[in-house]
Structure 1
Amino acid sequence: MTDTRVAPTLVVGLGCQRGCPVSTLRALLDQALQAHQIELHQIKALASIDLKRDEPGLIELAAQLGLPIMFFSSEQLARYQPQLSHHSQIAFERTGCYGVAESAALALAELRAQAPVKLLITRQKYAQATLALAGPA
């Protein structure tokens, strides 16, 4: 019997230090997807905090992958605090939210799914970047 269910909408949330190279972001993404046996084509969009709207590495990664990238304010991200696996005081001091990657992934997944979502990959850290992946609950 073939499985005809539609693949879930998966989105990646990213946080990074200023000037983080696209190669670092791509290495983190590839490593996380491989570890969780998720295909790149299953990722439908990227997300981050609006403070990173002009971050070259994030913009270049979205362009390389041919994916949209959406940015959220710290106020929009703050409401996801109870769902975070990790609360970073440093992230809060710098951005106003306790976890950019996880919050951004949850915010965009919820927006796209119009249904409850959850973290499918909790915060992964690599060099100057963090990544999380969210999708339907």
Structure 2
Amino acid sequence: MSEAIGAAMASWPGPRTPYLPLEGDVAGVWRAVRDGERVELRADPAWPLPPGVTPGARGAAVLRVTDRVVPLGERTAVVRPASLTVGVGASRGVPADEIVGLVRHTVREAGLSHLSVAELATLDTKADEPGVAAAAARLGVPLRSYPAGELARVEVPSPSGTALAAVGTPSVAEAAALAAGGELLVRKRKSAPEGRAAMATCAVVRRAGGSGPDRCVKPGARRIVVLPCFLLSGVLPDRCRHRAAVRAAVRPEPDIRPTEVVGAAGKLYGLVMKRHREADEGDLRMNCDSCVHRIALPGFEDTVGLPRAAAPAPR
């Protein structure tokens, strides 16, 4: 365990890793590794971990993986997974400072780390607002946008008739945060500037497990084979196999088995590209990530196995 963490930490030149932010007593954990002491890894649900780090037994130093604010004692370092999506609603002319301040305050008040904010999400007509784009840049995260029709289909706890009349969707902040899936941690909050009305809202979602194995588990997979689809071996295939191994170590079920590099398998790559084209062109019959007919769900029991386009409307 110490050798694995030592190899990983050797590539972490500063407070941020090449993959994930890092904070706490990094030097203390590094000294424990250098001196050959056991280092414990405490991980929240299987976030992608830096290469070379795997879960282990209790130790004198601790490396944690969490998006929550936790005590940072001596010889404790924390890796921050990119796990949070913040949905943002904004009025025309909103200042970037108002959005940034609202996001940081809301995340902090919820007991979460701003270092785990992975992206801002909003309505497509708001993405061109200078203040919204500048806020994403200030926070160092990408800005994702969705059309009103897509956001209008997302179920939210705080719909607004005023928003529906104004922009075509009953929710912006909550719907944008939830559009890609996940758990709503903070419902819509308004900014509180002095002397004028609020111009920004936000909501916070912990993103759904984004790894391939996690998406396979949802419809009931019990054995998963991870195929690194590359022509040659190298850093990226190694990272695929490593993440699969970490996922298997943190959650022993289902059975996950990574393979060697696939190599020049033209038929396999052709099938992958075919499925991508089907999804891009709206033919979702073979896309299990998007299909509600893969398993029996309340209200959809009679649609299991049917192509999505041919399925009856939900009752």
Instruction: Note the C-alpha offset of 1:53.
Output: 2.1
Task: Check conservation: 2:89, 2:122, Cα contact below 8 A.
Answer: yes
Match of 1:91 among 158, 163, 180: 163
Structure 1 residue 125: Cα displacement? 1.0
Which residue of the partner structure matches residue 202 of structure 2? 131
| 1:26 corresponds to which of 67, 88, 100 | 100
Q: Distance in 1 between matches of 2:104 and 2:138?
A: 13
Q: Does 2:141 match 1:67?
A: yes
Highest CA radius of gyration, 1 or 2?
2
| Secondary structure in 1 matching 2:134 | helix
**Bigger helix fraction:** 1
Give the one of 117, 120, 131 matched to 1:43: 117
Query: Which structure would you say has the larger RCO, counting Cα contacts within 8 Å and 6 or more residues apart?
Result: 1
CA distance in 1, matches of 2:157, 2:117: 21
Output the TM-score relative to the length of structure 2.
0.39
Structure 2 distance, partners of 1:71, 1:136, is 16
- Cα-Cα RMSD: 1.5
Aligned-pair CA distance for 1:2: 3.0
Q: Which structure is higher in strand share?
A: 1
| Residue pair 2:107, 2:204 contacting (<8 A) in 1 also | no
Secondary structure, aligned partner of 1:103 = helix
| Residue of structure 2 in register with 1:119 after alignment | 184
Tell me, in whole angstroms, the C-alpha distance in 1 between the residues paired with 2:149 and 2:125: 12
Q: State the secondary structure of the residue aligned to 1:2.
A: strand
Q: CA deviation at 1:136?
A: 4.0
Contact 1:25–1:58 (CA under 8 A) maintained in structure 2: yes
Output the CA distance in 1 between the equivalents of 2:82 and 2:153.
Answer: 23
Q: TM-score, normalised by structure 1?
A: 0.86
- Structure 2: which 5+ runs fail to align? 1-39, 48-80, 192-197, 209-315
